[in-house]
Amino acid sequence: MDAVLIIGGGISGLTLALSLHQAGIPVRVFEAAPALKRLGVGINLLPHCVRELSRLGLEPALAACAVETREMSFYNRFGQHIFTEPRGRFAGYDWPQFSIHRGDLQQVLVEAVLARLGAEAIALNHRCMRVEQDESGATAHFADATSGRSIGTVRGSAVLGCDGIHSVLRRQLFPQEGPPAWHGINMWRGVSRWKPFLSGATMVQAGWLDVGKMVIYPISRDRDEAGRQVINWVAEIRSPRHVMQDWNVEGRLEDVLPTFADWRFAWLDVAAMIEHADVLLEYPMVDRDPLPFWSAGRVTLVGDAAHPMYPRGGNGAGQAILDAVALARCLRESADVAAALKSYEAERLSAANAVVLKSRTAPPDNILKVVHERSGGRPFANIDDLIRWWPDGLEHVTVCFDACHSAVAYEEPEAALDALDAAGIRVGKAQLSAALIVPAEAHEQLRSFADPIYLHQVTERGSDRSWPDLPEALAEDGGGDEWRVHFHVPIFVERYGALMSTQEHLKRCIERVRTSHLEIETYTWDVLPPDLKRSSVESIAREYEWVLDVLG
């Protein structure tokens, strides 16, 4: 096979190059930048993409320059704590969550490519202008990125577009597509050297878009002589300013600091941290509408070129890495290049497009919106006054975004189901649900109304119950109803915006409903969380055993 040509030397392009090399497929990378510089700010690598980078042998290099994120903590804009959940290995996954400088991640990937593929594997200053193809191959036309003059063509077995949100290949396939979609939210991304806060490995989300929202986390384990870490922060504000879609547009302090001038908390002086930023970039929160196809003959799109999405929750990099691994596997398994690209598209397009759309409607920070709205944007006396742990209706039940946002990418659901079965848990496949206690009569209705990826606004339509308090309900019918405890695989569920573990939720339910008419059932769904492997399954089994012990 002739070499595969990768257009773009970013995260997706370099991960794809390593994946193709591992599969025994020759590859060359063409990057428009005249030099590879340490650009950008922080980025999060969630367990499912760390899994794939680990399989490429990169985990030690990443661990050496990243922070292994311990937890995610949510606060309001007054610094009041709302909720904390563990992350990565601290949440029971086989792989860590890494918070890392984008430039450090890029360097790890570049060094691996050059070491494994050779010094000539990455061609710099090559801007792809267009691609032509025939039955035997594809030809990329290049220009000098600095001068604009033509520098000839390169022919390969396929051309893979990893050239980002402004992809030339995407524009060639979809010439009538307009600019990226912007919905009035701007981001200021900064890096500051600051004293460690909270655990020193905590990721914080605070405030809300209407009054200013911050995401703050350390991206370096090393500390300077003053004991300071490198802290990444992102300020998100509803704003009429619509700047260019460029990761490296310099921001102005006066545009962002006033919104956060009074954010001076006991655990972190946010305003001072912003003032002392070493880097400040401005970028609009944009994405593009999902495409109907990515592959055309010997050309396909990967990562942000295929499915640019809101830069929230680590989804962009995570989905790009999953793309790269899937595409390399499809090319390894088929000698027909065009068919392999279509197989890759069939595997990844609907999954990635679902994440694009869910990132718009079900962001990982929705709990901040709930608290902001219920508190009227004011300090609260007690978080329990805002978050009711017991629902009076199913319409507010959702599944924790973080546990499920990339569930569609999981590759081995049958293996996980077999492991659950081996652990003694009989699992019936069902659409995604959460840990619920529901009347048996509403069970089928619940399943039929569940979204196959997330559970949103599920109601007991058709049931004559309005979800009264369970003890009262049991008293009314003399305990004659059969009630089912549904213990589902997602470890976290959300009740009125508050997250809790399945164990904690079931404990609350059990404390309120002491009856012999409880039947334990377990359900999962056809596509499981991407990093649910045997250790996670064993953890679920332990929680299930705990439930049985509590019920006695």
| 138-173 pLDDT tens trace | 999 999 999 999 999 999 999 999 999 999 999 999
Does residue 89 belong to any structural domain of this protein?
no
> What is the rounded distance in angstroms from the CA atom of residue 31 to the CA atom of residue 244?
21
Q: What is the pLDDT of residues 432-449, one digit of tens each?
A: 222 223 333 333 333 333
Q: What b-and-e string marks burial along 394-418, b requiring 16 or more CB atoms within 10 Å of the CB?
A: bebbbbbbbbbbbbbbbbebeebbe
pLDDT for res 292: 96
Does residue 367 belong to any structural domain of this protein?
no
- Asked whether residue 443 falls in the same domain as residue 537, the answer is yes
- Asked whether residue 283 falls in the same domain as residue 415, the answer is no
pLDDT for res 246: 57
Q: How far is CA 544 from CA 30, 395, 469, 521, 547, in A?
A: 51, 26, 24, 10, 5
Average pLDDT estimate for 332-355: 93
pLDDT of 421 > 70? The answer is: no
Q: What is the DSSP string of 335-366?
A: S-HHHHHHHHHHHHHHHHHHHHHHHHHS-TTH
The owner of tokens 């599944």 is: 399
Average pLDDT estimate for 287-306: 96
Given CA atoms 302, 307, 311, 312 in this order, what sign does their dihedral have?
A: negative
- Asked whether residue 298 falls in the same domain as residue 405, the answer is no
- Asked whether residue 327 falls in the same domain as residue 244, the answer is no
More confident residue, 56 or 519: 56
Q: How far is CA 243 from CA 208, 240, 257, 335, in A?
A: 21, 10, 18, 45
Cβ–Cβ < 8 Å for 72, 226 = no
Does residue 351 belong to any structural domain of this protein?
yes
CATH number at residue 346: 3.50.50.60
Last residue of a domain, one of 287, 306, 330: 287
Q: Is 126 exposed, middle or buried (0-12, 13-18, 19+ CB in 10 A)?
A: buried
Q: What is the pLDDT of residues 105-121, one digit of tens each?
A: 999 999 999 999 999 99
pLDDT for res 248: 67
Q: Is 39 exposed, middle or buried (0-12, 13-18, 19+ CB in 10 A)?
A: middle
pLDDT for res 285: 87
> What is the rounded distance in angstroms from the CA atom of residue 497 to the CA atom of residue 491?
16
Does residue 536 belong to any structural domain of this protein?
yes
| Number of domain units in the chain | 3
Residue 486 CA neighbour count, 13 Å, CB half: 24
Does residue 321 belong to any structural domain of this protein?
yes
Does residue 195 belong to any structural domain of this protein?
yes
More confident residue, 438 or 205: 205
pLDDT band at 502, cuts 50/70/90? very low
According to DSSP, residue 35 is labeled: S
Task: State the chain's mean pLDDT as an integer.
Answer: 75
Last residue of a domain, one of 228, 259, 287: 287
Average pLDDT estimate for 87-106: 89
> What is the rounded distance in angstroms from the CA atom of residue 392 to the CA atom of residue 473?
12
Cβ–Cβ < 8 Å for 283, 314 = no
pLDDT for res 385: 79
Rounded to the nearest angstrom, the gap between the alpha carbon of residue 349 and the centroid of all alpha carbons in its chain is 16
Q: What is the pLDDT of residues 364-408, one digit of tens each?
A: 787 888 889 889 999 999 887 786 543 332 222 222 222 222 222
> What is the rounded distance in angstroms from the CA atom of residue 58 to the CA atom of residue 106?
12
Q: How far is CA 392 from CA 87, 347, 465, 501, 541, in A?
A: 30, 40, 11, 20, 29
More confident residue, 80 or 429: 80
pLDDT of 526 > 60? The answer is: no
- Asked whether residue 266 falls in the same domain as residue 392, the answer is no
Q: How far is CA 469 from CA 191, 411, 463, 473, 497, in A?
A: 49, 40, 16, 6, 19
Tokens of 156: 């390969």
- Asked whether residue 535 falls in the same domain as residue 397, the answer is yes
Backbone angles phi, psi at 204, to 5 degrees: -115, 140
Cβ–Cβ < 8 Å for 189, 228 = no
Of 439, 482, 442, 474, the closest CA to residue 458 belongs to 442
- Asked whether residue 254 falls in the same domain as residue 310, the answer is no
pLDDT of 413 > 90? The answer is: no
pLDDT of 420 > 90? The answer is: no
Q: How far is CA 474 from CA 436, 468, 477, 517, in A?
A: 16, 10, 5, 10
Tell me the longest C-alpha to C-alpha distance in the chain: 84
Residue 211 CA neighbour count, 13 Å, CB half: 18
Average pLDDT estimate for 453-473: 28
Last residue of a domain, one of 359, 380, 403: 359
Q: What is the pLDDT of residues 216-275, one digit of tens each?
A: 999 998 888 899 999 999 999 887 665 555 556 788 999 999 999 999 999 999 999 999
Average pLDDT estimate for 164-186: 91
Q: What is the pLDDT of residues 3-33, one digit of tens each?
A: 999 999 999 999 999 999 999 999 999 999 9
> What is the rounded distance in angstroms from the CA atom of residue 198 to the CA atom of residue 204?
9
Does residue 326 belong to any structural domain of this protein?
yes
Q: What is the DSSP string of 429-463?
A: E-S---SEEEEGGGHHHHHHHS-SS---S---TT-
pTM of this structure = 0.73
CATH number at residue 276: 3.30.9.30
More confident residue, 94 or 239: 94
- Asked whether residue 397 falls in the same domain as residue 487, the answer is yes
- Asked whether residue 169 falls in the same domain as residue 307, the answer is yes
Does residue 232 belong to any structural domain of this protein?
yes
> CB 245: neighbour CB atoms within 10 A?
17
- Asked whether residue 266 falls in the same domain as residue 316, the answer is no
Q: What b-and-e string marks burial along 131-144, b requiring 16 or more CB atoms within 10 Å of the CB?
A: bebeeebbbbbbbe
Cβ–Cβ < 8 Å for 414, 510 = no
Rounded to the nearest angstrom, the gap between the alpha carbon of residue 259 and the centroid of all alpha carbons in its chain is 27
According to DSSP, residue 409 is labeled: G
- Asked whether residue 46 falls in the same domain as residue 137, the answer is yes
Tokens of 135: 């039955």
pLDDT of 494 > 70? The answer is: no
- Asked whether residue 317 falls in the same domain as residue 427, the answer is no
Q: Which domain holds residue 515?
A: 388-551
Tokens of 71: 């937890």
- The SS3 of residue 189 is strand
